[in-house]
Copies of this chain bind each other. A is one copy, B any other.
């Protein structure tokens, strides 16, 4: 069992992994892509770089730095994280290839992906729009459920929801479906969410679809998705952490954009360093 599993290879995750490795802890960093920075063209305001750089290049440098210092890095997609229900400081991180165990987990997967930018989305979030099948699925037993997504994460959520109802429609929101599903699939773009006190209808370019609930599972799961499933507190789309960067779940830490605050590299790097120093104390006291 690893001391710490860091999820995310951006500024917060790699910075933390570097500090953890240097504290001689057994660290594993799991990452999938370069996150928000992958699409960032010119970075000028992160101190220490004379020339402008693009985000991907900078993230690569950080990963090479972590590797040079001995951090083990695997490029896999995290699909689920389970924590020991008896508080035994055992987290199981399931990826598309392997399963890893850690005494602690640091979530550093960056900002949540943009949500559906359509009319009614904000209004009905928490009023029938949900981000967590395990958390809310049971509320909609035998009801009509819509699931938005097109990848493996969506099919995982679909599996969970299938325990509660058979009446499920999948909305790809005009993205390519990369998994097999045995439910009705709506492939055109979502244009509006309608309802009264709660969600009633998903309007797409070519149709209207009645639903009692709409589960969002676009792209790959974010830190928030994992945190929610484990019962961590979320406030305004940010994972709530204390001044040690620990969530309300013992041993589950979070740092960087996913905890909110200034969405800047400098802050994420600093978060990573702080979280690593807290983790070091925490793990050694276990």
Contacts and interface: CB of A to CB of B under 8 A. Distances in A.
Contacts of A46: 48, 269
Interface in A228-268: 262, 264-267
A186 interface: no
A45 interface: yes
Interface string A43-78: 011111111000000100110110011000000000
Contact of A264 (B45, B49, B51, B273): B273
B64 A47 contact: no
Contacts of A64: 50
Interface stretch (A14-22, A80-88, A168-176, A197-205): A14-22
A47 B18 contact: yes
Nearest to A17: B47
A274 interface: yes
A270 interface: yes
A272 interface: yes
A277 interface: yes
Q: Which of A58, A64, A273, A274 has the most CB of B within 10 A?
A: A273
Contacts of A44: 18, 22, 65, 69
A22 B68 CA distance: 33
A149 interface: no
Nearest to A45: B18
A45 B58 CA distance: 15
Interface string A28-52: 0000000000000000111111110
A47 B6 CA distance: 15
A47 B62 contact: yes
B269 A266 contact: yes
Nearest to A277: B262
A11 interface: yes
Nearest to A261: B274
Contacts of A69: 44
Contacts of A271: 270
Nearest to A10: B47
Contacts of A272: 47, 266
5 contacts: A18-B44, A46-B48, A47-B269, A50-B64, A262-B270
Interface of A: 11, 14-15, 18-19, 22, 44-51, 58, 61-62, 64-65, 68-69, 262, 264-267, 269-274, 277
Given A22-B45, A48-B58, A266-B273, 20 more contacts: A11-B47, A15-B266, A44-B65, A48-B48, A48-B49, A48-B65, A49-B65, A50-B61, A50-B68, A262-B270, A262-B273, A262-B274, A262-B277, A264-B270, A266-B269, A266-B270, A267-B270, A267-B274, A269-B270, A270-B270
